Chain A
Amino acid sequence: MKKKKLALRLAQILVVLVGISFVTFLLTYLSPGDPVRNMYTAAGIMPTEELVAEIREELGLNDPLPTQYLRWLRNCLRGDFGKSYTLNKPVTELLLGRLWPTVKLTLLSMGLMLLMAVPLGMLSAVYKDRWIDYLVRGLTFVGCAMPNFWVGLLLMLAFCVHIKAFPVISSAGDLRSIFLPALTLALAMSSKYTRQVRTAVLEELNQDYVVGARARGVRESVILWRNVFPNALLPLITMFGLSIGSLLGGTSVVEVIFSYPGLGNLAVSAITSSDYNLIQGYVLWLALIYMVINLLVDASYGAVDPRMRAKEQIR
């Protein structure tokens, strides 16, 4: 039963992946710019008409759409996503080189986010409707409405320009230069998470077992940390997994602000210079990573929460 479900999911992923590859290919196929011309202008050369026609023929850009798509797909399956026009390197190599910095940024910002969201959410739930709850709720509300690129710019203004505690350009990749970009991402996320933690803890606090434990005279701190906390974490694990996935693709803005050498920054410059091979590779790879993470999260439902094993998943 379980295996069958997994196989079904994998088959579904395969279908979706084929669809994605087609959409990705179509996007660049329909795009207004001419890749050959872009390639030459990127190198600073004005190509002649004959040269453009020749290269187009050589790259197979004059073939009908299905032929081009199938050829492209075959190469992709072999791990060959072509060469980047602007950087003149294989796309796979470029992407792999930028993957680790983005993963590092993602993990650090998730860590920072948890450090802020879990204590604040717990506090706000335990002291519900007291001043501290109102303060935390107010802060999360403000956090949700702030554009993260603005937060990044403000942090930069405060800590790089005025106090000079951190470098303005985070291309070095050491902890000091990665801290502000990670903090920017963490601040934006923690507003959402603090609310989630608060709701989850409140829900657990209203359960019968808490009333029972209180009636038996169990100390409040024991109830909170031994019983409520682990239970409240369950729903957060799912969110956590999903956020890692979306962060991997969502760091572009912050990476651009801090000139951080990650995937997002690479993608933005690829898009600005119409480097289609690189864009296609980036989109496909991220979709794949994202789907695998989602699958893992779904699979972990059952492992983490026994109740979930019994429940039918509602799609």
Chain B
Amino acid sequence: MKKKNFFLAHKQFTFFLILALLIILGAVFAPVVTGGADPLKGSLTEALEAPSRAHIFGTDKMGRDIFTRVIYGARASLSATFGVVALIFLVGTAAGVTAGYFGGWVDGVIMRVADMMLAFPGLVLALAVAGIMGASSRNAIIAIVLVNWTKYARLSRSLVLKIRDRDYVSAAIVTGSKTKHMLFSYMLPNALPTLIITATTDIGGMMLELAALSFLGFGTRPPAPEWGYMLNEGRACMQSAPWMMIFPGLAIFLVVVVFNMLGDSVRDILDPKEA
């Protein structure tokens, strides 16, 4: 009963949550959505066909159905994005809470490493890492995580520092609370809401960064459908088959909009003063 009230009270959140779930379900049940079509197989007699009733988004150079590839592409994009966000969240928070709680040289080392990562502008480090380690979706994820964990480390560190010297924290330490207990029951819960807000609002941005990497050819390997790389393929046939680049781009755009709106509404719920 209480749950129902929550969803009714936050209509915007509920609306975009449902949309996000629909997108995820569409990716999971891609074979059902596309009616069993194969995203990797096409017939060359049907290459570069304009959108029609048989192929509502048209076909690409190899005669593969673009609608099918866009739906299957959601799997690659969504799983990579969620992986990245989960990893930067975990790595960044662990590093930041540790640095803030223990201070001293631990703090120094962790934050200098973070500084080092921040010294590279935007995509440069991600490009270098993804490029040098070889193109694959795993390496693209590692590259983006390396660049982005620092934000969470800084945030969680500053949140921990805010309460580190409060009396109730000192009291808990003096009365013999174990370090593990201090970290998980005092420090982490204090930092968590802000970090969750940041993570949800970051989903869209991370998706764009991943798509940019694979657009440049440093992500998922070619035959597998992925939106960024599909745009890359579409670029070559821009004149003869503009639908090849329009639909994957539209897919990225719509998914990013939905997750950005979801992030905004999560922020409104968890942190009303910032709205």
Residues of chain A at the chain B interface (Cβ within 8 Å): 12, 15-17, 19-20, 23-24, 27-28, 31-33, 141-142, 144-150, 153-154, 156-157, 161, 245-250, 252-253, 256-257, 267-268, 271-272, 274, 276, 279, 282-283, 286-287, 290-291, 314
Q: Give the CA-CA distance A41 to B134 in the complex, in Å.
A: 17
Known A146-B253, A147-B211, A253-B212; contact A28-B124, beta-carbon cutoff 8 A: no
Partner pick for B128 among A24, A291, A314, CB 8 A cutoff: A24
B132 and A271 form a contact (CB under 8 A) = yes
Partner pick for B127 among A12, A16, A267, CB 8 A cutoff: A267
Known A20-B119, A145-B253, A153-B231; contact A15-B112, beta-carbon cutoff 8 A: yes
Partner pick for A153 among B131, B204, B218, B249, CB 8 A cutoff: B249
| Residue B234, interface by CB 8 Å | yes
| Residue B239, interface by CB 8 Å | yes
Since A253-B212, A267-B124 are in contact, a sample of 9 more A-B pairs with Cβ atoms closer than 8 Å, ordered by chain A residue number, is A27-B128, A32-B134, A147-B256, A153-B231, A153-B235, A246-B121, A250-B121, A253-B216, A271-B130
- Residue pairs across A and B with Cβ atoms less than 8 A apart, 29 shown, are A15-B112, A17-B119, A19-B113, A23-B116, A27-B129, A27-B133, A31-B132, A31-B134, A32-B133, A145-B257, A147-B211, A147-B228, A149-B228, A150-B231, A150-B245, A150-B252, A153-B245, A161-B238, A249-B120, A250-B123, A253-B215, A253-B216, A267-B124, A268-B216, A271-B218, A272-B217, A286-B120, A286-B121, A314-B158
Binary flags per residue of B115-145, CB closer than 8 Å to A gives 1, else 0: 1100111111101111111100000000000
Known A147-B212, A149-B212, A153-B249; contact A16-B124, beta-carbon cutoff 8 A: no
B201 to chain A minimum Cβ distance, whole angstroms, is: 11
Q: Give the CA-CA distance A303 to B165 in the complex, in Å.
A: 34
Q: Give the CA-CA distance A282 to B131 in the complex, in Å.
A: 13
Interface residue tally for chain B (C-beta within 8 Å): 43
| Residue B26, interface by CB 8 Å | no
Q: Give the CA-CA distance A145 to B134 in the complex, in Å.
A: 28
A283 and B119 form a contact (CB under 8 A) = no
B235 and A257 form a contact (CB under 8 A) = yes
Partner pick for A252 among B208, B216, B245, B260, CB 8 A cutoff: B216
Partner pick for A157 among B129, B242, B256, CB 8 A cutoff: B242
Residues in chain B near residue A290, CB distance under 8 A: 119-121
Closest to A253 in B: B212
A279 and B132 form a contact (CB under 8 A) = yes
B165 to chain A minimum Cβ distance, whole angstroms, is: 16
